[in-house]
A and B are shown apart, each in its own frame.
Chain A
C-alpha cells in the first residue's frame, strides 16, 4: 500500500516527528511504499541542517535524511511555512538575498500543492502533530 505522512510539529518539543519517523520505518519494514513525507507548520524545522542535539540523544534531522537516502523517500518542506520560520534552501537564499541556507540533505522545499497531491496519490495520509 502507498502511504503519505504529514508532520506538523518541529523536532524535540513534540513527539510528533518521532512518532512519524517510527511509523515510516515500520511501514517500510512491512514492504509498503512511502510516497512522501510533507512537513508543515513548525514541522518545517525538522529540515534544519544546523540542528545539533546532545550526543546521547537521537538526531531527528539526520534520521530523516538517512531515511531519504536509504529508501529514496521524498521529504518535502512547505515553502510558505519554511520562509516564515527562516528555513531556506540555496535557491531561496539567492532569491531572497539572504546570506545562508539551512536545509538538510534529502529534504526539498516546495509548495503546499505537494501535500494535496500526496493526499490524492497515496492510499492513506497519516497526520502527526500537536
Chain B
C-alpha cells in the first residue's frame, strides 16, 4: 500500500482521504462535527473527497432554516468547502433517488455517482472516515 502513496513536493505524504457522510443533520451532531474534520484536513494538503450516502444526502438540502430549533445553521459551510480546495463532493444516486431528491435540491454542486462507481472510488482510498 505504501508503495502507491504519492509524495508531495515538500516530501510529505499525500494520502487519499474520503469523508463518508451517512447521517442526516441536526438530529445528531455527526454531520456538523464531521464537517469540522473535513475543514481541518484541508491544512494537511491531502487528496480529500466527501461522499454523501444514505441520510447523509439530507445534509446538502437548500432552504435550511434552523431558527425555530435554536441550532447553528451550517449549510453555508458546504459552499465554503471550495475555498478550502475541497472540491470533490460525491452523492450516491441510489440514496438520492430513494429519498425523492434531485441535484437541484442541493445547496452546492455535486457529482452524482452510481453505487458501483462510488464503491470503486471508496475501494481506492487510503483512509475512509465515516460519520
In the complex, B111 has a CB within 8 A of chain A: no
- Expressed in whole angstroms, the Cα–Cα distance for A111 and B129 within the complex equals 17
Per-position contact with A for B1-17: 1 when CB-CB < 8 Å, else 0?
A: 11000000000010101
Q: Is A127 in contact with B33, judged by CB distance below 8 angstroms?
A: no
In the complex, B130 has a CB within 8 A of chain A: yes
Per-position contact with B for A108-130: 1 when CB-CB < 8 Å, else 0?
A: 00011101110110010101010
In the complex, B127 has a CB within 8 A of chain A: yes
Q: Is B46 in contact with A116, judged by CB distance below 8 angstroms?
A: yes
| Residues from chain B with Cβ under 8 Å of A104 in the complex | none
In the complex, B43 has a CB within 8 A of chain A: yes
Nearest CB of A to B38, in Å: 9
Q: Which of B30, B44, B127, B130 contacts A41 (CB 8 A)?
A: B30
A: interface residue count bin: 10 to 19
In the complex, A67 has a CB within 8 A of chain B: no
Q: What residues of chain B have their CB less than 8 Å away from a CB belonging to chain A?
A: 1-2, 13, 15, 17, 29-30, 33, 36-37, 40-41, 43-44, 46, 126-127, 129-131
Give 25 CB contacts A-B under 8 Å: A6-B129, A8-B131, A40-B33, A80-B36, A112-B37, A113-B44, A115-B40, A115-B129, A116-B17, A116-B37, A116-B40, A116-B41, A116-B43, A116-B44, A117-B44, A119-B15, A119-B126, A119-B127, A120-B15, A120-B46, A120-B127, A123-B1, A123-B2, A125-B127, A127-B130
Q: What residues of chain A have their CB less than 8 Å away from a CB belonging to chain B?
A: 6, 8, 40-41, 80-81, 111-113, 115-117, 119-120, 123, 125, 127, 129
